[in-house]
Chains A and B, each alone.
Chain A
Amino acid sequence: MLTTVVEKLKTQFPNSILDVREFRGETTVHIKKEDIVKVCTFLRDDESGLFDYCSDVCGADSYTPENRFEVIYNLYSLSYKHRIRLKVFVDETDLHCPSVTSVWPGANWPERETYDMFGIIFDGHNDLRRMYMPEDFEYFPLRKDFPMMGVPDSIPLPRK
């Protein structure tokens, strides 16, 4: 089933698919950043996929000069009970990425979390605030250049 989805994706969006990878029986499809909403809408509505359930959206920092950040979408189909993973690259110089909240409203908080942790700005998101960290926090903690022990004085502590 999943192979037909990937084949269909390839014929439908020949210029959007950058790479398809298989590992431990899981399929990861690399997508061009600009086309992510188109591909997601197709995957949600197409008969062969019906990925109507967005399990998760998360980011990752590869710490490379180009295409430093990744945004990863873990999708699930309630009808066919299969999973697929999409991935887009976001460059450090252009931290914008289209939001998929129009496709799955449930991507709202995960995208906010990704913004909070990596600083990726989701265009089209209606409420892009920090999820966990204080609003006036300057850093993005899950970036690899943020030290694990934190930055001293980055969060003001209550005085006596």
Chain B
Amino acid sequence: MNIEQAMDIRQQKILAALENKNTSVYFDDALENEMILNMGPQHPATHGVLRLLIKLDGETVAACVPELGYLHRGYEKLAENVSYHEFIPHTDRLDYLSPLMNNTAYVLAVEKLVGIEAPKRAQYIRTIISEMARISSHLLGIGALAMDVGALTVFTWTFREREKMYDIFELLTGARFTTSFTRVGGLAHDMTPEVITAVKEFITQFPEKFNECITMLNTNRIFVERMDGIGVITREQAVAMGMSGPNIRAVGLEHDLRRTQPYLVYNELDFNIPVLNGGDCLARYYVRLNEVKESVKIVLQCLEKMPAGPVHANEPKKVLPRKEQIYTRMEELIHDFMLINFGVNPPVGEVYNAIEASKGELGFYIQSRGEGHPWRLKIRSPSFMNLQSTAQLVEGGMISDIVAVLGSLDPVMGEADK
């Protein structure tokens, strides 16, 4: 049988099927019929494993129900069973796009509970790595958003920059992703001159490269019109729904914990808080873009102002001693033994400490009963709270806008699911 014959048979079959009334379904109006669509959990636009159940009225989203929990690993339960130090590696896996920032947020909460403070140099280094993490996270946010709405090139360009940052992180911490760099009362180790040079090199060449990326998007009419005016949320709704981070600053609210409740050395630095009024996807994108530029300013200032000195607080009973001292000195050996086996033992009490992470307010609420491990540790994750508004943002819009809305919210499921 040649190809013409096969086509003929197929044609006849189709004709027969159309003539037979039972095989076809007639609608009075196609838009009257609602359809339930299951998006995810393995959908590329969900940036992880988020499942959305969508009720469609034609192409319009009538209702949307997000389902979480596909990446739930029970970190809060784990935290109750490991010592304060042992939990630091787990914080890497929360927002896995900016692990250095999670490390910082966690140890700041523990330090508040214990009642110690890291020395100035350590705080400057923590600020640098936090801002580097913010740049890296926003680069992915912008790149992935552009890719979701169809601009594929930008993603590869932002990833090229992120790759350079990961090289620096590897030089600094020994790992690209799972950094676990901070310690209670300080850092794992000092920032070597080699790393400082690498950071300087990166940060001086970065603005130009970044401008290339964003010029591609900002002058791209398809991208801008695709993002403009969709996924709109008002200021009142955003506050009521507990949004934070760039998403809340896109509704015209200057809510940034770096400014309102300064931690680390942010009150010694000069930077602006980008605020926009749109409340739509484009505004959220622009806030992220401007924040990257501010972060570059912060890193440059920190490199300039960073004082010399120790990176560990002088609290032998709370801060892990250096390895070389453990091997040579009795006192340090005892402290190391006690800290590793029994933990930091903060006083009985509870604290909540939040920082402005790349996605928003990342808070750790810790209840202590004076033991080496937390009695209760609760992670207030910004992605979780931001995702709460998904239904509001997409309902009434088109189905194709869902990917743009999700991309502009920039959730990380590791953090939302804990």
Contact = CB atoms under 8 A, between A and B. Distances in A.
B388 A60 contact: no
A132 B417 contact: yes
A2 B19 CA distance: 78
Interface size bracket, A side: 35 or more
Q: Which size bracket describes the interface of B in this complex?
A: 35 or more
Q: When A and B form their complex, which 9 residue pairs have the shortest distance between CB atoms, in order from nearest? A: A106-B242, A132-B69, A132-B72, A23-B349, A58-B378, A56-B380, A60-B376, A81-B260, A106-B241
Given A58-B378, A74-B363, A105-B241, A117 B69 contact: no
B68 A78 contact: no
B385 A106 contact: yes
A78 B253 contact: yes
Interface of B: 68-69, 72, 74, 76-78, 80-81, 112-113, 115, 239-243, 253, 255, 260-261, 349-352, 354, 361, 363, 365, 367, 375-376, 378, 380, 384-385, 387-388, 417-418
Nearest to B259: A81
A23 B349 CA distance: 7
Given A56-B380, A148-B81, 11 more contacts: A24-B351, A53-B255, A58-B380, A60-B376, A106-B242, A106-B388, A109-B384, A130-B69, A132-B72, A133-B69, A141-B74
Interface of A: 23-24, 26, 28, 52-56, 58, 60-61, 72, 74, 78, 81, 83, 85, 104-110, 117, 130-134, 141-142, 146, 148
Given A60-B367, A132-B417, A78 B112 contact: no
B402 to A, nearest CB: 19
B112 A24 contact: yes
B68 A53 contact: no
Contacts of A78: 239, 253, 255
A105 B240 contact: yes
A85 B352 contact: yes
Given A109-B388, A148-B77, A104 B378 contact: no
Given A106-B385, A109-B384, A55 B363 contact: yes
Nearest to A28: B350
Given A78-B255, A109-B388, A117 B76 contact: yes
B114 to A, nearest CB: 10
A23 B350 contact: yes
Nearest to A82: B261
A106 B365 contact: no
A132 B74 CA distance: 9
Nearest to A61: B376
A69 to B, nearest CB: 11
Nearest to B388: A109
Contacts of B239: 52-53, 78
Contacts of A130: 69
30 contacts: A23-B350, A24-B351, A28-B350, A53-B239, A53-B255, A55-B361, A58-B365, A61-B376, A74-B363, A74-B365, A78-B239, A85-B350, A85-B352, A104-B240, A104-B242, A106-B240, A106-B242, A106-B243, A106-B385, A106-B388, A107-B242, A109-B384, A109-B385, A110-B385, A117-B76, A131-B68, A132-B68, A132-B69, A142-B77, A148-B80
A57 to B, nearest CB: 10
B68 A26 contact: no
